[in-house]
Chains A and B, each alone.
Chain A
Amino acid sequence: MAVGGWLAVGWGHPSRPFVSDHDELEPGAGAKAKYGDLVVLFGGRRMLYPIILSQGETVHVKAGLFHHDDVVAKPFGTIIRSRKARENYLHLLRPTPELWTLSLPHRTQILYTPDISLVTSKLLLAPGSVVVESGTGSGSLSHALARTVAPGGHVYTFEFHAGRAATATAEFVAHSIADVVTCTQRDVCAHGFGLPGIGLEHNYADALFLDLPAPWSAAAAAYNVLKCESIMCSFSPCIEQVQRMCVRLRELGFVDIHTVENVHMPMEVKERQLSVPPYLAHGAKRAGDDAGSDDEASSTAPKRTKSLDGSVRPASHWAARNFAKIGGHSGYLTFARKPVDAAPTVPADYTDPPLAGAPAAATTTTTATTTTTTTAASSAQATSDQ
């Protein structure tokens, strides 16, 4: 099949790894890596290396030294070899948000694919959705969200740590998704999600996601930024956080509040040698057998793969079992919906009531909700480069 879009992209222009250029189908067969592209070199579990291809560069990893120049013009899925030790190789892959999640430089704890999958589905995301996220952290979720809401949608992600916000923004630019994701440096617990520069204040988000240590301090702001009949999700590793968050969500009038734990269980698949013990093999000596057959039974190897009833047992089996030890807990996901007939915003004079057992600093934070406060606070705070 001729794929027109591919020729149009042309050499020298990095292709967009996480979202496609939608007017044409993405290149299929024979898509090749180019200078400027983000690619993933894959050597196995925990051996994934994301690199941006540039002329003359090398990457030195466990499997050896690899030259970027050897990667360029290679189709995805093929094998890249180390020049000096040619028996050493890695596979070249087109990056996906999932591979990025497994290989990104960690600045924080991140969300992994099983949780990301559930969040994406339960927030009903699709191209065109507008999602608000905080904190950005290492951008693991942001990349996956960008992939799903493009084209036409947008991810507004907020991070109060200057370095993390800057690094995330730089990554979004390098990965050519800066038109889909905007990172804003902001303490959302203190200043909410208003985006004065873009004219967005209240009721503009189709979905919202929080991964914050004190999500309840951002709950009122979350309520304001969401459209009615939109869903939010809050991720917390500890049940105490969940408990406080649920109290606050109920107070604010969210409905369908429910919490799940998504335990992803990887399985070990292996070829196993299972031997039939000689005394259980077909033709083995049994009580009452005459002594004559004894030698034969124990010395003829193939017989050992036959069971007592004469049926042939395979010498090996491919089988699956749960891994004995897994990363079993990531966090709890709490979902809540802003009802369709809810007030569009919390009352202008709303302040969070104290929350039993919550850290003092978080409960005293006032969520700015009136137009004037938010605008003033945000313009002072927002340092987005977008």
Chain B
Amino acid sequence: MESKDNVISEGEQVVLWSNKGFYMIKKASASTSLRMGKKKNGATLAGLVGEPYGSMFHLVGSEMVRMSSVATDTELTEISAPEDGVIGDNRHIKLKEEQTMSAEAIQAMREEGKPVEEIIGQLVESHAAYDSKTAFSQAKYIVKKKQKYEYVLTAYKATAARVADALFDRSPRKLCFLRPDALAYMLTAANVRAGASYAIVDGTNGLLTGAVLERCGGHGKVVNYGRCASPQLHSLSIMHWAQGGDSPILAPLVTTQLEALVNPELAAELAPLPLAEGTAHGLLMVPQDDPLPVLQAIYPILGLGEPFAIFFSYAEPLVACFQWLVETDSAIALRLSHTFLRPQQVLPDRTHPEVSFHNTSGFVLAGHKSMPLADDPSAPTAEEIAAAKARKASMRRTARKRQRSGVRAAAAAAAASPAAPSDDDGAAPAKRAKPLSAE
């Protein structure tokens, strides 16, 4: 899995981060040309081929050429904490941007192929208010201009996490709004690992399936329950390990139809079904449709005691699932949650949460499948329950009596923990498992 795997090869899909602040997924090839702003600039991605992943490329003429990827954005950090401790103020700031260099002049310099540093030097010189800025805003000005006039791409290997970042950035709708951090949470909540079998309902064009496959590393069984005979798995095909076609990591993948779980004719047609009832070690769903009927159809596949995680961008349909699971008494450790991923700007003396970021984009319902109490062969008989109730009632009476007679400490203990470890016999029945909130 060494060296050759780390070099971009011709025709490979690559996750590109642009210094303009967005992701792209493109083929590394001379036939891929980039669009910049409104016009196609004709720069191709030929320059990426043969270079290692993680490299940075900048635009030189109409070619993306590899550059050093060693940090270039140190201006802000160095400036931000002034040595003398005086931050300065902007009482003399001129209110208008007084840039005397014309847009045409800048364009001309760019067309001549002048290096960005030179253009920025000119911009600074012809900026009337530059000197009245604080050192920090001067540095910020330069960083901003650099971002504007430079075109830099970082090329990442298309691993599931990178593809998730890029796709969410481009078109969250196509992922049913599954945010990368929600995906990350689902993968751990459903205990995704090598050597186990997973049932998947994937409304993300294969991103979810791909992420599970990557974590299985070629071991186990990953069953995609599609809406139709040929499920959309476009996002899966982007993964660097899937691009060759027959990768060992793809081996655990089986596609089938959700409908086969409820339609015996289709089931017969598609037989043998990849997972028998109660055999999946985990269930992951990002449904495009109403989650409850989908869950009801696929839940029998999940093994008893095994974890599941369901993502949906609205809470209410997951509440309906929650209700069904509670009412049928078929899950424990149920928790509904969402995450709020807050990026921070960290600079000496200028640390604060970023001004804008993605808010929550959806909710995850997670839990473990459990045996309903009513199905328990070892359940106590009606008499036993009645006897236990009587015992408890008498305990309560004694406690109350004690309280009345002023034995405060004993009463407090009994009230606070009626099922304290010391009184095994009279312990209250363990309550129906409450939703578990992760700390």
Contacts and interface: CB of A to CB of B under 8 A. Distances in A.
B196 A61 contact: no
Interface in A224-254: 228-229, 239, 242-243, 246-247, 250, 253-254
Interface residues of B, number: 110
Interface stretch (A114-122, A300-308, A346-354): A114-122
B427 A26 contact: no
Contact of A262 (B181, B221, B347, B419): B181
Interface in B410-439: 417, 419-421, 424-431, 433-439
A29 B435 contact: no
Contact of A127 (B219, B334, B385): B219
B380 A86 contact: yes
Contacts of B428: 88
A1 B304 contact: no
A140 to B, nearest CB: 11
A25 B77 contact: no
B339 A45 contact: no
Contacts of A88: 419, 427-430
A181 B245 CA distance: 33
Interface in A86-138: 86-94, 96-99, 102, 112-114, 116-118, 120-122, 124, 126-128
B181 A120 contact: no
Contact of A318 (B189, B323, B368, B384): B323
A82 interface: yes
A382 interface: no
B188 A120 contact: yes
B298 interface: no
Contact of A96 (B307, B338, B378): B307
A97 B215 CA distance: 15
Contact of A79 (B161, B164, B373): B373
Given A28-B303, A60-B424, A126 B215 contact: yes
Would you call the interface of chain B mostly helix, strand, loop, or mixed?
loop
B216 interface: yes
Interface string B155-174: 00001011010000000000
B93 interface: no
Interface string B182-198: 01110111010111110
B280 interface: yes
Interface string B204-243: 0000000000111111110000000000000000000000
Nearest to A26: B196
Contact of A320 (B159, B315, B384, B427): B315
Contacts of A112: 438-439
Interface residues of A, number: 105
Nearest to B335: A266
Contacts of A1: 272, 275-276, 279
A77 B303 contact: yes
Contact of B184 (A62, A117, A151): A117
B427 A318 contact: no
A20 interface: yes
A214 B314 CA distance: 41
Given A78-B304, A151-B194, A62 B420 contact: yes
Interface string A253-293: 11101111111111111010000000000000000000000
B389 to A, nearest CB: 9
B219 A147 contact: no
B393 interface: no
Contacts of B187: 117, 120-121
A84 interface: yes
Interface string B357-390: 0001001000011110100101110001100100
Given A63-B419, A90-B430, A113-B185, A150 B305 contact: no
A94 B341 contact: no
A353 B352 CA distance: 25
Contacts of B426: 85
A98 B55 contact: no
Contact of A259 (B344, B420, B438): B344
A121 B161 contact: yes
Contacts of A43: 430, 433
Nearest to A92: B305
B6 interface: yes
Nearest to B55: A340
A346 to B, nearest CB: 13
Given A266-B437, A318-B323, A98 B189 contact: yes
Contact of A19 (B193, B337, B339): B193
Given A44-B434, A88-B427, A267-B315, 17 more contacts: A1-B279, A20-B219, A62-B420, A63-B427, A86-B380, A89-B376, A116-B188, A117-B184, A117-B185, A117-B188, A118-B181, A148-B215, A243-B346, A243-B351, A255-B69, A261-B344, A319-B319
Interface of B: 1, 6, 52-55, 68-71, 74, 77, 81, 159, 161-162, 164, 180-181, 183-185, 187-189, 191, 193-197, 214-221, 272, 275-281, 303-307, 315-316, 318-320, 322-323, 332-344, 346-348, 351, 353, 360, 363, 368-371, 373, 376, 378-380, 384-385, 388, 417, 419-421, 424-431, 433-439
Enumerate the 6 nearest inter-chain pairs by beta-carbon distance, A residue then B residue, closest first: A127-B217, A77-B305, A77-B304, A20-B195, A76-B305, A28-B279
20 contacts: A29-B278, A42-B433, A62-B427, A64-B424, A64-B430, A88-B419, A96-B191, A97-B191, A114-B185, A117-B181, A117-B184, A118-B184, A127-B217, A246-B77, A255-B69, A259-B343, A264-B438, A318-B323, A340-B54, A341-B68
